Amino acid sequence: MKINTANFVCSNTDWRKCPKENMPEYAFIGRSNVGKSSLINALTNSKKLAKISGKPGKTQLINHFLINEKFYFTDLPGYGYAKISKKIKEEFQNFTLKYLKNRENLVCLFLLIDLRVSPQKIDLEFMEFCALKKIPFVICFTKSDKLKKAEIVENTNQYKDYLLKQWESFPINFTTSSVKKTGLKEIVSFIDENNIQFKY
């Protein structure tokens, strides 16, 4: 599969106002400034589809994009550090969780993790939440272009070793770089395989 078209559909804070649940949907989430918008733009070969900001916490809405007229990408607000008030942070984290728990056509959640940093408590807790709520997710390690090959292996193994202490298996994961386009073909192939299995 090749992504040929990508169009913005809508933004809101209520999962009930999202597009009809008649197409497969793939959401992107992670700590603030982890590179969600950059990855979406890289996958769709666009520089401006998803808004990018150097300031953490820029995405504060559920943003839907229609891909190839056949499925959706959803850019969700980042969790963790953001230069916004505590009240606003709680509000958009609340509607994000409602979206994750209620969106029936959500095929998979792409959980983005900065590969340059050691396992963070907030990421691990979010994985646990997804497991408990039976929200399917895969890990997208981002910013691999900032590391040497040996560092990529070492840092990935840190997560693997940690998770295997509590989990039966290490989640499906992709090593990505929006700059060097690393891992994009693998993600698109993963989406294509899941689209085929989606029940309309």
Give me the residues paired with residue 112 across strands: 30, 140
Using CA atoms, how far apart are residues 75 and 188, in angstroms rounded to an integer?
16
pLDDT tens track for 1-23: 999 999 999 998 889 999 999 99
Predicted confidence (pLDDT) per residue in 97-131, tens digit? 889 999 999 999 999 999 999 999 889 888 988 89
Query: What mean pLDDT, rounded, does the chain reach?
Result: 88
pTM of the model: 0.90
Tell me the per-residue pLDDT of 69-101, one tens digit each, with 9 for 90 and over.
999 999 998 776 444 445 444 554 678 888 999
Residue 138, SS3 per DSSP: strand
Q: Which CATH code is given to the segment(s) 6-195?
A: 3.40.50.300
- Position of tokens 């891992």? 183
Give 67's contacts (C-beta < 8 A, 6+ positions apart): 3, 5, 6, 44, 73
**Other beta carbons less than 10 A from residue 197's beta carbon:** 8
| pLDDT per position as a tens digit, 31-66 | 888 999 899 999 999 988 887 544 444 457 899 999
Do 113 and 123 meet the contact criterion of CB atoms below 8 Å apart? yes
